């Protein structure tokens, strides 16, 4: 999901989310690892708040992707540590 969302298979990202992520990556070589951890915690949070079952996996993944895209595209975000979902890592 992250590879698709960030358009990492392309030589140059074709979407704004991917281009924004490249800026994060330029500042922090561990940006993908950090985003992966944030994504996993956000997905777990979504799963529990939606009271999802295994049949809801795709719905949870789509909700997680939408939330990440929304947070990454906020203008005030200059690093992954500024994402609202970053605080889920401390739980």
Domain residue ranges of the chain, discontinuous segments joined by +? 2-90
User: What pLDDT is attached to residue 89?
Assistant: 95
What gap in Å lies between CA 79 and CA 24, rounded to an integer?
Answer: 6
Rounded average pLDDT over 50-61: 97
Q: Which residue has the tokens 């944030």?
A: 38
What gap in Å lies between CA 40 and CA 91, rounded to an integer?
Answer: 12
What gap in Å lies between CA 38 and CA 14, rounded to an integer?
Answer: 23
pLDDT over 70 for what percent of the chain?
Answer: 100
The mean of the pLDDT values for the chain is: 95
User: What pLDDT is attached to residue 91?
Assistant: 76
In the 8-state DSSP scheme, what is residue 24? H
User: What pLDDT is attached to residue 74?
Assistant: 95
Residue 30 has pLDDT above 90, yes or no: yes
What gap in Å lies between CA 18 and CA 57, rounded to an integer?
Answer: 24
Rounded average pLDDT over 26-31: 95
């Amino acid at each position: 999901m992250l590879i698709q969302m960030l358009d990492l298979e392309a030589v140059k990202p074709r979407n704004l989310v991917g281009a924004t992520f490249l800026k994060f990556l330029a500042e922090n070589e561990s940006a993908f690892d950090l985003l992966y951890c944030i994504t996993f915690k956000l997905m777990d949070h979504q799963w529990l708040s939606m009271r999802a079952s295994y049949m809801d996996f795709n719905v949870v993944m789509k909700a997680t992707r939408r939330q990440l895209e929304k947070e990454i595209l906020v203008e005030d975000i200059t690093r992954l540590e500024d994402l609202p979902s970053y605080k889920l890592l401390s739980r």
